[in-house]
């Protein structure tokens, strides 16, 4: 059985909108939740949560969209 990982992180992507981020990440996992942070207008931060088999792919893609911060990774059993 391939392990799955629950990822939670903040993506600073001021020049990228929610629809673009969501469509880019949709194929890399499940349980995808993306929301603009409360201070989005000033920071351009999105809160992202996704379950995936390969966190590296998710982070590689997100690093092309902006800066990644506050990463939490938990193995899903």
How many Cβ atoms from other residues are within 10 Å of residue 4's Cβ?
17
Rounded to an integer, what distance in angstroms lies between the CA atom of residue 65 and that of residue 59? 10
Evaluate the CA torsion angle 32, 20, 24, 40 in order and state its sign.
negative
Please give the residue range of the domain that contains residue 35. 4-76
Residues of the chain below pLDDT 50: none
Instruction: Report the CATH number that the domain containing residue 46 is assigned in CATH.
Output: 3.30.70.120
pLDDT value for 2: 75
Helix (H) or strand (E) holding 52: strand 45-52
Question: How many domains would you assign to the chain?
Answer: 1
Q: Global pTM?
A: 0.88
Rounded to an integer, what distance in angstroms lies between the CA atom of residue 29 and that of residue 15? 23
pLDDT value for 74: 96
């Amino acid at each position: 059985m391939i392990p799955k990982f629950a990822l939670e992180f903040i993506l600073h992507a001021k020049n990228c909108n929610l629809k673009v981020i969501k469509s880019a990440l949709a194929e890399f996992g499940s349980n995808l939740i993306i929301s603009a942070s409360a201070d989005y207008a000033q920071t351009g931060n999105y809160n992202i949560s996704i379950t995936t088999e390969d966190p590296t792919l998710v982070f590689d893609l997100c690093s092309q969209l902006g800066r990644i911060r506050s990463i939490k990774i938990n193995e899903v059993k």
